[in-house]
A and B are shown apart, each in its own frame.
Chain A
Amino acid sequence: MTARLSRGTRERIATLVYALVAVVGFIALWHYTAVHYLRNPFILPAPIEVWNGLVRVAGGYLGGTLLSHLGASLAVVMAGYAIAVLIGVPLGIAMAWVPGVNALVGPVLMVLRPIPPPAWIPLAILWFGIGMPGKVFVITLSAFVPCVLNAYLAISERPRELMNAARTMGASNRTLLFEVAIPSGLPTILTGMRIALGNAWATVVAAELVVATAGLGFLILAGYRNFEANIMAAGMIAIAVVGFLMNLAFVMIERRIVPWGTQHD
């Protein structure tokens, strides 16, 4: 008899086994469909071909290795994201702290919010050309709204009892904002920044699918144009892995900064 396992451990093992079965089954089904049923690598490349595609792209494809395409996408995302955070978070805080700012900026945000970020791509091309500035503009817009909204939400829902307690103890307006309202709202602000990062990453793919000469979205489009579906799938996998890792890294940073209250989805 083996040692008796606790209920939690058994559950975890079961989940792991099921996950393994699901993933292996999925890849097997994919392989079978591609190799024995469709038999058209342009419609559905087999898993092994996608792997070969990844290896090929890693070594260099259309003037750039996988890393250089990744670098191109990341540079655009980071530039647009940084601008969005630097403007959006202070703006959201100001909107919640100063009623006049909200009255003035709130309606504009209401109008801009329902417009999908990719809808700006053509205008961005018109205004900034097909280079990097246009993409940065679109990325900024896509990351801007969650930054503003969550910062606004965080500060306008500051806990009254903390505010009153601090005020009773003679805290100045400045102290109230920087030492009570912002720290207590930090988890919500960080969540907004995480959503914004996800938006930015999804939007750069859309932008690069429309117009680009490098980047992971461009890689997908290049594969499409060259009738190499395995390159397309390789690009998608690279995008997924990077997006996943970025989110994971952000969650870990969040836990470090605000161990007391991190929201998860």
Chain B
Amino acid sequence: MTDAALSSRAPRGRGPLHRLAGSLRLVWVFAIWLALWWAVVIAFGVSKDFLPTPLDVFNRLVRLATVPIGQGTLEVHVMASLKRFAYGFAMAAAIGVPLGFLMAYFRPVDRLVSPIFEALRPIPPIAWAPFAILWFGASLGSQAFVILLSALPPIVINAYLAIKLTDRKLIDAARVMGAGPVRILLEVGLPAALPLVFAGLRIGLATGWMALIAAEIVAGDGSNRGLGYLILLGQRTLNADLSIAAMVVIGVIGALLDVALGQINRLLMRWRVD
């Protein structure tokens, strides 16, 4: 929803010329901001350790990709972060979707789980990090746990709503035509629920990715790898360019993950007309 909001002013679906003009304008705007950043650094003679120029950051990115730092090159750190994220997010999806469905189908489950869920939800996931370290050690386990906790609520809530908001008319129509309960669930209930379930996964992806970086910064002391570690290393060694380069990578991957899930969503939901 918010993605559409930001890009709604950009020409869309109005022919390649319009789209080209739109992206050219985007390039211009970015050039203006980068120039402004650069001008500030030069005009005030800011130290490179404090605020590097865009070129410094770019050079650092190139160096990161080729020269090992910590436990390896950029690839190693990206893969380490992605692995933690994949573990946490996969667990959140594997627990969250069935739990949401169960809560929507069975009243007692809903009434038993909801109070606990609502009581724990106001605790920011990152506040669990110290306990996560006690329970799983300052490594993969604790970070995956924090990601799991932060991705879980949107996934559960959307899976729950997806079943609750299924159009009764669809189910009644299938029943009239002689479909049994299993067939109704598999061929009517699940497909109808899919868009909302997916929306939940998408929100969970975004919150999980945010939590990963927080977890790596707070609970990352055990390992010398990951994008959060790179940011922290940049601060500790007074290399702001390293921190900023890592943040750029984090932003790009976060955006790519969102786009990828959006594409899968579109592929799965091709049959939908709305």
A: which residues have CB within 8 A of B? Answer: 14-15, 18-19, 21-23, 25-26, 42-43, 99, 102-104, 106-112, 114-123, 125-127, 149, 152-153, 156, 201-202, 205-206, 209-210, 217, 220-221, 223-224, 229, 232-233, 235-237, 239-241, 243-244, 247
Stretch at the interface among B62-70, B175-183, B210-218: B210-218
Q: Which residues of A contact B262 (CB under 8 A)?
A: none
Q: Which residues of B contact A109 (CB under 8 A)?
A: 6
Provide the main secondary structure of the chain A interface: helix
A-B contact count (CB 8 A): 166
The residue that A156 contacts in the complex, of B8, B231, B254, with Cβ under 8 A, is: B8
Q: Which residues of A contact B135 (CB under 8 A)?
A: 43
In the assembled complex, the CB of B116 is this many whole angstroms from the nearest CB of chain A, namely 5
Provide the main secondary structure of the chain B interface: helix
Interface string of B234-250 (1 = CB under 8 A from A): 11101010011011001
Is B119 positioned at the interface, with any CB of A under 8 Å from its CB?
Answer: yes
Smallest CB gap from A23: residue in B: B115
Is B17 positioned at the interface, with any CB of A under 8 Å from its CB?
Answer: no
Smallest CB gap from A201: residue in B: B124
In the assembled complex, the CB of B125 is this many whole angstroms from the nearest CB of chain A, namely 8
Is B122 positioned at the interface, with any CB of A under 8 Å from its CB?
Answer: yes
- Asked if residues B217 and A119 are in contact (CB atoms below 8 Å), the reply is yes
- Asked if residues B25 and A103 are in contact (CB atoms below 8 Å), the reply is yes
Instruction: Classify chain B's interface size.
Output: 35 or more
- Asked if residues B238 and A116 are in contact (CB atoms below 8 Å), the reply is no
- Decide: A122 near B231, CB < 8 A? Known: A22-B111, A22-B112, A224-B130: yes
- Asked if residues A240 and B122 are in contact (CB atoms below 8 Å), the reply is yes
- Asked if residues B213 and A118 are in contact (CB atoms below 8 Å), the reply is yes
- Asked if residues A116 and B123 are in contact (CB atoms below 8 Å), the reply is no
Interface string of B201-224 (1 = CB under 8 A from A): 000000001111110011000000
Report how far A19 CA is from B118 CA in the complex, Å.
11
